[in-house]
Amino acid sequence: LKCVGVRQWSVLFDDATSKAHRWPARKRAMLAILRDRTRVCTARLLLVAAPGPLARQAPRLGAASPWATPCRQLAGRRSTGGDRREGADVGLKEDEDSVDDGNSPTASGGDAAGAGGEGAAGAAAADGSSGADVPSSGKGPAGAAALFALPLYRKPAFPGFYQIIQVSEQEVLDFLFSLARSGQGEYLGGFLTKEPSDKVSDEPLEVPLSMSNLPAASQNLRRDAGGVGRVEELEEVGTVLQVVNLNQYPNVAGGQIVVMPHRRIRRTRVVQEPTPNVPLPSVAVEYLEEPQVDKSDEKLKALRSDVLATMQDLLKTSFLYKEQFEQVIRFYDMHNPVKLVDLVAGMSLANRKELQAILEEDNLMERLTKVHVIVKKDLELARLQSTVKSQMEEKVSKEQRRLMLMEQMKQIVKELGLEKDDKQSLIGQFREAIKDKTVPEEASALIEAELAKLGTLEPTSSEFNICRTYLEWLTCLPWGKFTEENKDIEKAENILNEDHYGLEDVKERILEHIAVSFLKETTQGKIMCLVGPPGVGKTSVGKSIARALDRQFYRFSVGGLHDVAEIRGHRRTYVGAMPGKLIQCLKITQSSNPVVLIDEIDKLGRDFRGDPSSALLEVLDPEQNGSFRDHYLDVPVDLSRVLFVCTANVTDTIPAPLLDRMEVIRIAGYVFEEKMQIAKQYLIPQTEEQSGIGRNRLDLEEEALKSMVRDYAREAGVRQLRKLLEKVSRKVALTLVRKVEEDATCMKITLASLNSYIGQPLHLSDRLFNEGTPPGVVMGLAWTAMGGATLFVEARGRLPRGSERRDHSEQRDGDEDGSLVSDSSSKGSSGGMGGMQVTGQLGSVMSESSSISLTYARLFVRELDERNSYLDEARVHLNVPEGATPKDGPSAGVTMTSALVSLAVNQPIKTNLAMTGELTLTGKVLKVGGIKEKVIAARRERVSTLLLPRQNEADFVELKEYLRAGITAHFVDHYDDVYRLAFEEGQVPALPKPSRGLPVVTVDTPQTPEVEAPSTTAESTETADSAGSAP
């Protein structure tokens, strides 16, 4: 009825009635029910219409229309203003008897209310009759002594047009129904709450127990009105609300009220506070007179015109306002400023406090001014929303236009036969990608098969994307593409020297590789492994190798790697499968002969997902990597031209089969002189540039740099030295910035001021005894993952009570007398009761070495003096300091034995002497590793004499002369020579017989005045001494 109009619906209904005699009985019965329902809907529609339109609409109905009579009767009541209660009661009764299906004018008006909370339900009460039509008899509000106050949560109600109010509390709605049934609830007082109620939230309404059999609510409902605890929570000024219709929600608690606000009222006193049985309070009210309009006030006219023009702009700008209020304005008195104010305030989305202030304002000019302010705000908000909406629509329209044009272009191209579809274009791209590549026969056959398969698949299928991804990997590999290698030896050598200082073994090996490639006129691959402590440049030297060879460089770390798929790829059956690192390397570098750096290969993991070290066996085997098969590609890929460079700190954790496939190049670390040159040539310029201070603003004195290397950065690498130089550069940069106004040109770092930049020295000396060691203490040499280090072995003993100990001189005098024989010697001959405790967190191998040392030392001391049973009787404690550091290895055997012998004979060894070597039970001194690291550690501690195994002579001689300068090395084959060289002759018992080992070889490299570079030369002498001769 609301959409097509009463007259048109009448015509349609009459036409259906004329044809009803041909319908079945059931259909005619339904038509009769529809006729009764239509009468009710017609009454509802006309109930909310203005008297003027209603009077014009009623005569248009035909005399034979079944609802013409009730429409005319209702129009007569509305136009005369009489018997309102009867009309309202009829509407309420019909509403209670009917089923609200959501198509009634009331429900439609609720939908049109929008986000603001209240809207126009149907047409407005026009012609200015809303306030004047309030009756003054006892039936109307003018004659009422008190009104029930309905609290409004969202905004106040303004006189002039119908509003729909959502009531959230079921007890309030039940109370209103009871008032309607008793004939007392036609008029209420609508008062805004002073503070927003927490019941205004959009939480779902609870279904009461009486409605538990109904379906659950499918949406959240607005809450406009409800109850309050006290009358003081309400504003003083409100409006008289005429209840037109009441509806109960069918599936949730609460309902809606259609009201018609009439005129402003002020509450004067409280008649009754709300109680559990009466949820709405009762208040006495007085009716406020509307201000008189001065038609001669030009200012008022101008302001009214501006408000009206602004509102019209608002209706043009905002679709929401136009949808709700266009019909209202058509029948509304827009020339009356009082009515205009109420209309605009009722339409506005302004703050509830601002709207309440308009409702309370008595002065018409002030009221119109406040309305002018809020309508301007609404217009600005509407314009902003319109701008955002237009921008979004423009963006969407552009995208839609593009899609439409693309579809049209596809159809045009397809009709003209100019281009094939996307699938054929994709296949063409794949063929173009491999056109200039030398693809192996097996890979080429597989690519053709996959291309044929791709042509039969639908683009929307999942298999299509899998096949497409597989072809992308197959066609993007550099089949047969190689980077031309540099064959200029001098150029490569200059590049290596530019990037790194020292590392002669690595540089020599790379130059050899270039020479072989030059002679064979082909590029070749190799597997190298750089082993050394942290900070010596293993990773960075890989980049220099690639740069020297003019090859592409790719690095990936395998430290902590557990998954074999990272090396060999995933099977294509898995979701998200992809090739391994080596295939990714070829794709990124687009070269079949790059330099691949496999970092931290000594830290490979192993778990249930597989053993990556086993997967690397094929990759790093020159006999197998020519046909490497990745699990994802499943075609042979040639890796024989790839130069693999691996890095590791130690070789102990690398599996033996994997280590056997690599050429190990050891980088021992840097000595003092090398660190000085590295700092001058590389580190200082780099830190100056990185910190932004420039080349001429930092002056680091020679003595300060020496102290930094000697006392702060003693590790094998230069990483700590770099950190210290960066710290100095940062502090210098801060000082320069602070003194920018003073134009500071250069900061000089002296030895005295060094502590203020990098703090106190970390290392003063590794020696526990600077002035010589006491008996039982010997300095050894050790190899660690951080480089070489000196290591002291301490031995102390305690004899049982009653036993006496005599030193070497007393024993010698006793021998001459023939009468001085202690009891301890006789006890020792019977086997002795002595033992040894070993401390210092030693490993199993080192603990075994200590047991071997004690056994051999007891026998050796008895060979020197049969009466010396000290080691047999005394309780010996052997300790290796720095107990927090784990220690292991066999190279401390000679050192431990010398400490026990020194304790037994009660004589110290020579000063500035260190030794290393593995000892057997027969006294043989065996070969050990890490000679270069140990020599570097000895130089750092200024040790002048070394005792090394005879089999390590070649390792020592191969060292650069600047590393051996100032060191005398004795290479011994048996402990007899260690004893003879370690102790001062005449202070200890002499050997009873000649040495049982090979002759001692002594290499003495004189100390040059200034040793700064590897090119420094020194004369080395080698002498082969007899077993009994002096060193």
Enumerate the active-site residues.
891, 934
Which contiguous run of DSSP H or E holds residue 330? Answer: helix 319-330
Residue type, 401: R
Rounded Cα–Cα distance for residues 232 and 85 (Å): 31
Rounded Cα–Cα distance for residues 733 and 820 (Å): 77
Which of 347, 291, 362 has its CA nearest to residue 161?
Answer: 347
Contact 566, 611 (CB under 8 A): no
Residue 517 burial by Cβ neighbours in a 10 Å radius (0-12, 13-18, 19+): middle
Rounded Cα–Cα distance for residues 536 and 540 (Å): 9
Rounded Cα–Cα distance for residues 778 and 878 (Å): 11
For residue 270, the cross-strand partners are 283
Query: What is the maximum alpha-carbon separation in the chain?
Result: 163
Rounded Cα–Cα distance for residues 44 and 39 (Å): 9
Rounded Cα–Cα distance for residues 368 and 340 (Å): 9
Cα separations (Å) of 138 from 135, 183, 912, 929?
A: 8, 13, 125, 119
Neighbours of 485 (CB within 10 A): 20
Contact 510, 548 (CB under 8 A): yes
Contact 435, 479 (CB under 8 A): no
> Using a CB cutoff of 8 Å and minimum separation of 24, what contacts does 507-513 make?
509/663, 509/665, 510/545, 510/548, 510/549, 513/549, 513/643
- β-strands 255-272, 237-248: how paired? antiparallel
User: Residue 711 is encoded by which pair of tokens?
Assistant: 């006392």
Cα separations (Å) of 136 from 132, 140, 292?
A: 10, 6, 21
Q: Which residues contact 425 (CB under 8 A, 6 or more apart)?
A: 419
Quick one: three-class SS letters along 238-295? EEEEEEEEEEECCCCCCEEEEEEEEEEEEEEEEEECCCCCCCCCEEEEEECCCCCCCC
User: Residue 192 is encoded by which pair of tokens?
Assistant: 């805004």
Rounded Cα–Cα distance for residues 79 and 127 (Å): 11
CA 326 to chain centre: 54
SS3 state of residue 193: strand
User: Residue 616 is encoded by which pair of tokens?
Assistant: 């690397």
Looking at residue 203, the DSSP 8-state letter turns out to be: P
Cα separations (Å) of 1023 from 153, 328, 914, 946, 969?
A: 110, 122, 20, 15, 11
SS3 state of residue 186: coil
End-to-end alpha-carbon separation of the chain, Å?
Answer: 127
Which of 48, 248, 253, 239 has its CA nearest to residue 150?
Answer: 239
Contact 99, 45 (CB under 8 A): no
For residue 887, the cross-strand partners are 842
Contact 682, 801 (CB under 8 A): no
Report CA torsion sign: 548, 549, 554, 559.
negative
User: Residue 928 is encoded by which pair of tokens?
Assistant: 């050990």
Rounded Cα–Cα distance for residues 871 and 477 (Å): 72
